[in-house]
Amino acid sequence: MSSIPLRKMATLCAFSVAVSSSSFAVELNDLLSHELWGLQNTPRTASTTPDNVDPSQIETTGTCAERPDISGGTYTCNSYTSAGVQDMDINAEEGWNSFVPSTELAQQQVVIALIDTGIDYQHPDLRNKVWLNPGEATGVDSNQNGIDDGCEDNIDGDNNGYLNDCHGINTLVPRVNADGSLNNEAGDPIDNAAGHGTNMSGVMAAEGNNASADYHGGIVGVAGMESQIRIATCKSAQIESDVLPLVPGVAVPAARETAIRSCLWYFYNLKQSGINIAVINASGGMSKFLNIYGAFFPNVGEPYLLDTPEMYLLADLLEAADIPVVAAAGNNSWDIDQKTHERAYFPASFENNNIIAVAASNNQGSLWSGSSYGRWTVDVIAPGEDILSTAPTYPIFPQENADFVVTHGTSQATAFVTGIIGVLKANESTKHLDAFSIKRLLMSSGKKLTAGSNKTVSGALVRLADDNGKGALTCSNQMFTRRQAPKTDNIVALPGETLQIEVQSFNCASPSGVTHIAATVVPTGEVFNLYDDGMGDDEQAGDGIYSGSWIVPYGEFEYTLSTGFDSVKEANDELRVTAAIIVDNTDETDWTGKWWPSVYRADYYGSNYRYATENDPEKLFLWSPAVNEANQYRVYARWPDGPNFATNATYRISHHDPVDGSLLMTEVQVDQTTNGGVWMDMGTYWFNAGTQSIELTNLNADGTVVADAVLLVPEL
């Protein structure tokens, strides 16, 4: 679960801002609408200046950096963010102007499903946006208390096992009491302990333009201008103190895996019963390790880990049911791609085509410093730093009771994307898009950010609408092409191995329709094709994923595969293949004597190198490459160079006689003051199958001896 810290900054004397009326051409009477930079990021100027502040230093300002102080129909900000960079927002106003409501909305509302801490369904900016379960409601309020009588009759009107689940459910309490009766609390998703769900709801769909004589209006959510979009809520998360069992006393907002599964089943069953579940918002998530306020915490408690077999099956079920799931990338500030499984963040790291993983940006168009990311895992970017949104209207925070707060996180970014999908599913021309089409549309129609090109799949800030054919509601002729497998730009694969290659290629929401994508190989000049025909290597025809395979040949130890133009990098895609066995000094190695780790000299392989100084007594470093097949192998070694390194470092290569299999040993001397960062050829040798021995000695060396990496290339 992403956090919603109440950010406190150095406080200036309170002053208000003058906002150009052009900030929102759409008429909004919501008091705080101009503080919503994620919707419209327009720099503003201060209208009054405190006596002790140089006016030139605050002439241009951003939005409120903490909760605004509201008094009647006015408000003040005690501190501000840096001035926002123009147009680093989702273009909400352009989207509202482009929106054409579906003709079916009057008969079937669009429902956003929220898995979180619940919702304050009495909040004045949310109460008209909360879903009312038609299976529970009677349409009668005989006691005139503002609540449908069906929500108070203690009857399970829709027979789903939850009592009076008018707005959703609460999985934090037992569904059934000890006496076998249904628990009334299980049908009540009120947000009364954490506030996170209420916060997300405001970003997604707070009602816009709702100021009245009795209410100042507040904010507007992405989907807040369409009255037929509703939020159904599953309360599953709260502040928990046992998430980090090895670090007692640290409490964080989190949800147990069993609670999240109950939520997913609830929304899946609603979809199957005919409720128009348009999207599931999954702001919460979990990785095996956590980064909390800069401190690294390993070993998250088992009940909170989400990469379970049951969750994998549920992810597949939701994909089959065509329900988009928008998932936060997490607030750990690190790469969540699966190559670092301890940091993989679920459900964002699930690979289903209906799951849309989201990173967070700031008002400068950069990634928020706390946002996790992933070139192969995180799909899009949305605003997530200093986001003003709703908070419960009763005291839940330690020191304050406010109906609005400023927060930050990938949760907020996720809510922006969910709100956009809600609008898409309510819009006449996009209402029929399936989950994967929506994902393709968001990825191809966004605004490219330099900060995102190597940190996300699309490199794009989501846009509700835009000019020049961009924007989710206005997308036209926006080609997206990028390799999605292998999930790396550098790979080691032995000759004879088969590599599976996949490239995504689509135009807005639709597959691109090209017949094939050609891949080329350097230095061989080989060309092979990838197809989207559902045959051979391709799993499904016409989904915009082009697939093919390539067998690593013998002859070279470095190849470069290009699958053509990468529309995000705006350059040719390159996959570098090392056709060899590589053993770094941190892999299958051993040593005698002192071999000190270092990163001082440049051009080493991997994460570091090791070195040995004085040569008496002898020090040995041993690499033990494993060879699966007896063959002739060319051996290479690598080191960084330095002026004090040995000119006569000696490698001892143990190999075999190809005829009788007897063990042989060859010594090779190298000059480690030169050729740093280059794989140096040390000859060709026959190795029997099994574990081999390559030693480096400092005996009689005239300087420091460096142990970095060795490489074996099989030959025909």
Paired with 504 in beta bridges are 482, 545
CA distance 255 to 248: 18
Look at 52-56, 323-327, 389-393, 561-565 and tell me which has the smallest mean pLDDT. Answer: 52-56
pLDDT digits (tens, 9 = 90+) for 631-661: 999 999 999 989 999 999 999 999 999 999 9
The residue-averaged pLDDT of 65-69 equals 91
Q: What is the DSSP letter of 413?
A: H
The set of residues, in sequence order, having a beta carbon less than 8 Å from that of 387 and lying 6+ positions away, is: 38, 203, 406, 407, 408, 412
Please determine, for residue 45, whether its predicted confidence score (pLDDT) is greater than 60: no
For residue 286, the tally of other CB atoms under 10 A from its CB is 26
Query: Where do runs of H (alpha helix) occur along 281-358?
Result: 309-320
Is residue 54 very low, low, confident or very high in pLDDT (cuts 50, 70, 90)? low
Give residue for tokens 């007897």: 662
Paired with 480 in beta bridges are 506
- Look at residue 43 in the predicted model and tell me its pLDDT: 66
Please determine, for residue 272, whether its predicted confidence score (pLDDT) is greater than 50: yes
pLDDT digits (tens, 9 = 90+) for 428-462: 999 999 999 999 999 999 999 999 999 999 999 99
Please determine, for residue 13, whether its predicted confidence score (pLDDT) is greater than 80: no
- Look at residue 403 in the predicted model and tell me its pLDDT: 85
- Look at residue 395 in the predicted model and tell me its pLDDT: 62
The residue-averaged pLDDT of 661-667 equals 96
Is residue 9 very low, low, confident or very high in pLDDT (cuts 50, 70, 90)? very low
The set of residues, in sequence order, having a beta carbon less than 8 Å from that of 180 and lying 6+ positions away, is: none
pLDDT digits (tens, 9 = 90+) for 181-193: 999 999 999 998 7
Please determine, for residue 17, whether its predicted confidence score (pLDDT) is greater than 60: no
The residue-averaged pLDDT of 330-335 equals 95
CA distance 419 to 200: 10
pLDDT digits (tens, 9 = 90+) for 384-436: 999 999 999 876 544 445 689 999 999 999 999 999 999 999 999 999 999 99
Query: What is the sign, positive or negative, of the torsion defined by CA atoms of 596, 598, 603, 606?
Result: positive
- Look at residue 21 in the predicted model and tell me its pLDDT: 37
What's the 3-state SS for 557-597?
CEEEEECCEECCCCEECCEEEECCEEEECCCCEEEECCCEE
CA distance 576 to 316: 32
For each of the domains in the chain, give its residue range(s) and CATH number, in order of start: 96-131+167-476 (3.40.50.200), 483-578 (2.60.40.10), 581-715 (2.60.120.260)
Q: What is the DSSP letter of 82?
A: P
Please determine, for residue 20, whether its predicted confidence score (pLDDT) is greater than 50: no
* Total-model pTM: 0.87
- Look at residue 614 in the predicted model and tell me its pLDDT: 83
Mean pLDDT of the chain: 91
pLDDT digits (tens, 9 = 90+) for 278-306: 999 999 899 999 988 778 888 899 999 99
The residue type found at 572 is N
CA distance 58 to 50: 10
Residue 682 CA to its chain's centroid (Å):
44
| Percent of the residues in the chain that have a pLDDT greater than 70, as a whole number | 93
Is residue 707 very low, low, confident or very high in pLDDT (cuts 50, 70, 90)? very high
Give residue for tokens 């050829």: 681
- Look at residue 715 in the predicted model and tell me its pLDDT: 84
pLDDT digits (tens, 9 = 90+) for 539-548: 999 999 999 9
Q: 265 burial class (0-12, 13-18, 19+ CB within 10 angstroms)?
A: middle
Q: Write the DSSP string, 460-488.
A: EE--SS-STT-STTT--S-EEEEEEESSS
Structure-token pair, residue 142:
């005989």
- Look at residue 188 in the predicted model and tell me its pLDDT: 96
Is residue 307 very low, low, confident or very high in pLDDT (cuts 50, 70, 90)? very high
- Residue 339 or 369, more confident: 369
Is residue 49 very low, low, confident or very high in pLDDT (cuts 50, 70, 90)? very low
Please determine, for residue 556, whether its predicted confidence score (pLDDT) is greater than 80: yes
- Residue 264 or 298, more confident: 264
